[in-house]
Amino acid sequence: MASSAPASASGSKVDNAEAFQGKVKLAVCQLSIVAEKQQNIDHAREVIEKAADDGARLIVLPEMWNCPYSNDSFPTYAEDIDGGASPSTDMLSDTARARKVTIIGGSIPERSGGKLYNTCCIYGSDGKLLGKHRKMHLFDIDIPGKITFRESDTLSPGNTFTVVKTDVGCIGVGICYDIRFPELAMLSAAKGAQILCYPGAFNMTTGPLHWELLAKARAVDNQLFVVTCSPARDDGAGYIAWGHSTVIGPFGKVEAALEEKEGVLLLDIDLSEIETRRTNMPLEHQRRHDVYQLVEITDRNRSAL
C-alpha cells in the first residue's frame, strides 16, 4: 500500500457494466483427494459433470485438488499449463466446454520458467481460459507444537490480481492464505468482483477459529459473495484439511456450508443482493479517500513509490 500514487484499482477496473446481475446456481465441490493424480482428475470430472447435470452454472474446486497438499508432492505433480502439458487443466477446459459451465478450477501446482506456483485456472462456458491466479501470499507459518508449513520451500508467489468477467458474474480469485489479506479482496472488489472465490485448505489449528471468520469478514468488508472451497478432510493425510467449504452472502449470512466430509454445496445465489446491500449501506461512497487510499502497485506506478 502507498498513499502517493493514484488509486489504480479503479484505473484497471474490469468493464462489468453489463455484468450478470441475477440468480446463479453455484456448485462448491469439496473433493476427497488421493495420491494417484489420474484418479483425482477422473473424480473431479465426474463431480463437475454431476453438478452441471444438477443445474450448476458456476463450479468451484478446492486448493491443490490433483495432489496431496505437501511440499514433497508439489514438484512431482506440477504441470506446465502454458506449455500445453497439463492433463488437469485440459480436463477442466474440456468439461467446461462440453457442459457449458464456468469453472473456478481450484488450484494445482504449476511449473513455469523454472519455478513452481500454486495456480488457479478459470474457464468460461466455452472452455476458454479466462484467467489464471497464482497464489500471491504463500502459506509460511510456524505455530510451535501445532503446525509448521513453508510453501516458500517449493513455491513462488504470483504478483497479479485476478478478476474475470464471466457469463455468471464478475469473479475475483484468491487462494487460501490470500484470504487473510484484506487488500487483495478490496482491490478485487474495486475492480468489479461480485463473487470472491477462495479455493483453500485451512488446517485443524487455524480452521476452527479463522476459516469462517475470514470469509465473513471479506464478504462484509466488500459487500459481495465469498465462496471458500476446501478438500475433504482425510485424517490419515500428512496435512489434515479443515474442510467446511462455505458460501457467505454480502450481508455476512452463511448461505450454505459443508462439514468435513466430501460433498457438493448446490445453491442459488442472487447477485442483485449486492446492489441492495450497497444501496442500504453505501460504504464505497463513505470511504475517506481524502484521508487514505488503497493502491495496486503495477509496473506503471512502481517508480512513483
The residues of the shown chain that bind ligand LYUYDEPV, judged by CB under 6 A, are: 63, 139, 176-177, 180, 201-203, 206, 210
| Residue 260 a catalytic site member | no
Specify whether the CB–CB gap between 244 and 259 falls below 8 A: yes
**Whose Cβ is closer to ligand LYUYDEPV: residue 124's or residue 231's?**
231
Q: How far is the CB of 177 from ligand LYUYDEPV (least distance, A)?
A: 3
Region of 153 (left: φ > 0; alpha: ψ -120 to 50; beta: rest) is alpha
Which listed residue (25, 29, 63, 273) is catalytic? Answer: 63
**Whose Cβ is closer to ligand LYUYDEPV: residue 239's or residue 251's?**
239
Q: How far is the CB of 81 from ligand LYUYDEPV (least distance, A)?
A: 19
User: What's the first-to-final CA gap in the chain, in angstroms?
Assistant: 10
| Residue 197 a catalytic site member | no
Which listed residue (29, 121, 176, 197) is catalytic? Answer: 176
Structure letter (DSSP) for residue 167? B
Q: How far is the CB of 80 from ligand LYUYDEPV (least distance, A)?
A: 22
SS3 label, residue 185: helix
| Residue 216 a catalytic site member | no
Q: How far is the CB of 216 from ligand LYUYDEPV (least distance, A)?
A: 15
Q: How far is the CB of 66 from ligand LYUYDEPV (least distance, A)?
A: 15
The CA dihedral of 175, 32, 56, 48, to the nearest 10 degrees, is 100
Cβ density class 166-205: b for 16+ within 10 Å, e for less: bebbbbbbbbbbbbbeebbbbbbbbbbbbbbbbbbbbbbe
**Whose Cβ is closer to ligand LYUYDEPV: residue 46's or residue 72's?**
72
Q: How far is the CB of 197 from ligand LYUYDEPV (least distance, A)?
A: 14
Largest CA distance in the chain: 54
Which listed residue (25, 37, 132, 135) is catalytic? Answer: 135
Q: Which distant-in-sequence residues (6+ apart) come within 8 Å of 293 by Cβ?
A: 1, 3, 7
Question: Residue 239, exposed/middle/buried by CB under 10 A (0-12, 13-18, 19+)?
Answer: middle
**Whose Cβ is closer to ligand LYUYDEPV: residue 260's or residue 273's?**
260
**Whose Cβ is closer to ligand LYUYDEPV: residue 6's or residue 75's?**
75
**Whose Cβ is closer to ligand LYUYDEPV: residue 204's or residue 266's?**
204
Residues, the chain: 305
Residue 111, amino acid: R
**β-strand partners of 60:** 28, 104
Residues marked active site are found at 63, 135, 176
